[in-house]
Amino acid sequence: MSEKPVVVYGASGYTGRLVCEYLRHYHVPFVAAGRSEDKLKASMDSNVPGIETADYEVAAVDHDVSALTDLFKGSSVVLNTVGPFSELGPAAVEAALAAGAHYTDTTGEQDWLITCDEKYGAKFAEAGLLLAPGIAQMYTTGEIAAQLCLEEPGLDTLDIAVFWGGSPTIASTRTILVNAATSKAHYLDQNAYVEFPEQGLVPLVVPGQHELALSLPWGGTSHPVWFKRDPRVANCKAQGGVFNAALMNGVPQIVAAALEATKDMAPDDRNAALTETARQVMNQMPPRENPRVNKSLDSVHASGPLGRAHCVIHGNSNYQQTGLLQAYAAYSLLQTPPKRVGFASGCQAFGHRELLGVLRSFGLVSEPQLMVYR
């Protein structure tokens, strides 16, 4: 049982330690939790600037519902960065619910979001708790752009693109492979999930440059799940990728080879093999982000029978955006109830203009470029 109001589960990872850094900014006491006490202490001491001024403690915990419940009891918010979430998320969610804590995570795994919505959403709502998976730059910043477009009445279709500079972390690479091996990507068509066709890389027009960028469905992303219950939206499709064309060209081959090699394996053997493949792609912790290199771009075209809108948000330091959004979610929940309980996105729980203001105040995104065509 913790005496701190917030638990960061997976605090020694790349994203987890950024969450801890921004909790320090907000003066929020927290528990840095994970499987290895030594790794947690080393990560806090070496990788979280200003950690000596933070109010925190370190806690090692086994990944099972009972142990996590014991740890989460006494805390109000659980911020989970431990994936793949379709594999490891259920224990953390069930423990948060048992402990009476709000839950957020950084997932982009569409199958996990659907599970949260359909299996756990009503239970969290009954308990007056928030269940908000997918609060992260790759999803929330794009959702902010979508919500800005939807302030214009009469728009029912969202065409979303997200691009970023740099490369994914070890954990993100493994999650991409596991997600590709175990689930399909979907978009929203007339409020129904439709499976993406096998189409390979798709070139997209990127605002602000002449060169086309390469994209993939990237697991379908969070957006179709979040907007499925939004009465304004009937159709939602999202694509994403990195600006590095060479890396993007390699992704389908890496995924296809990994899936072919593991297709007949038992689940445990397959996961071990996919983990090893991920380490071959990315086997070290990336350096701290450089805003001149690690750029982000979120573009949303919204349309309806008689209107259109387009919103573009340029930003930098994608993982720092994620760390800040997670920390702000905890900071907000400790002071006021969310706008919605049960299953909800970051924007639905805290407000899209509020989250935009948070990102702007830390210099991580520019003023949105919003054009409305009537």
Question: pLDDT (tens digit, 9 = 90+) per residue, 181-209?
Answer: 566 899 999 999 999 998 788 999 999 89
Position 168 scores a pLDDT of: 66
CB 71 within 8 A of CB 77: no
| DSSP secondary structure code for residue 367 in this structure | P
Position 178 scores a pLDDT of: 62
pLDDT tens for 308-348 read: 999 999 999 999 999 999 999 999 999 999 999 999 999 99
Q: What is the largest CA-CA distance in the chain?
A: 59
CB 53 within 8 A of CB 22: no
Compute the distance between CA of residue 18 and CA of residue 328 in angstroms, rounded to an integer.
Answer: 12
* Lowest mean pLDDT segment, chosen from 63-72, 265-274, 349-358: 265-274
CA 88 to each of CA 10, 95, 103, 185, 374: distance values in angstroms, whole numbers, following the listed order: 11, 12, 14, 19, 46
How many CB atoms are closer than 10 A to CB 22?
A: 22
Compute the distance between CA of residue 206 and CA of residue 224 in angstroms, rounded to an integer.
Answer: 21
Q: Sign (positive/negative) of CA torsion 19, 23, 26, 28?
A: positive
- Interstrand relation of 186-189 and 192-195 (parallel, antiparallel or unpaired): antiparallel
Q: Sign (positive/negative) of CA torsion 103, 34, 106, 120?
A: negative
Which domains does the chain carry? 6-136+320-360 (3.40.50.720), 137-316+366-373 (3.30.360.10)
Q: Which residues pair with 298 in a beta bridge?
A: 162, 313
DSSP for 294-326 reads SEEEEEEEEE-SS-EEEEEEEEE-HHHHHHHHH
Specify the residue for token string 């998976």.
133
How many CB atoms are closer than 10 A to CB 140?
A: 28
CB 185 within 8 A of CB 217: yes
pLDDT tens for 85-132 read: 999 999 999 999 999 999 999 998 999 999 999 999 999 999 999 999
Compute the distance between CA of residue 178 and CA of residue 83 in angstroms, rounded to an integer.
Answer: 10
CB 60 within 8 A of CB 86: no
Position 276 scores a pLDDT of: 67
Q: Which two tokens stand for residue 25?
A: 């900014």
Helical H segments across the chain, by residue range: 14-25, 37-47, 65-72, 85-99, 110-115, 121-126, 142-150, 170-182, 223-227, 245-262, 267-281, 318-333, 346-350, 352-361
Q: Which two tokens stand for residue 122?
A: 């009503």
- Residue 89 CB-density burial (10 A; 0-12 exposed, 13-18 middle, 19+ buried): buried
Compute the distance between CA of residue 128 and CA of residue 164 in angstroms, rounded to an integer.
Answer: 35
CB 149 within 8 A of CB 311: yes
Compute the distance between CA of residue 282 and CA of residue 98 in angstroms, rounded to an integer.
Answer: 36
Position 277 scores a pLDDT of: 67
pLDDT tens for 24-55 read: 999 999 999 999 999 999 999 999 999 999 99
DSSP for 122-143 reads HHHHHTT-EEETT-SIIIIIHH
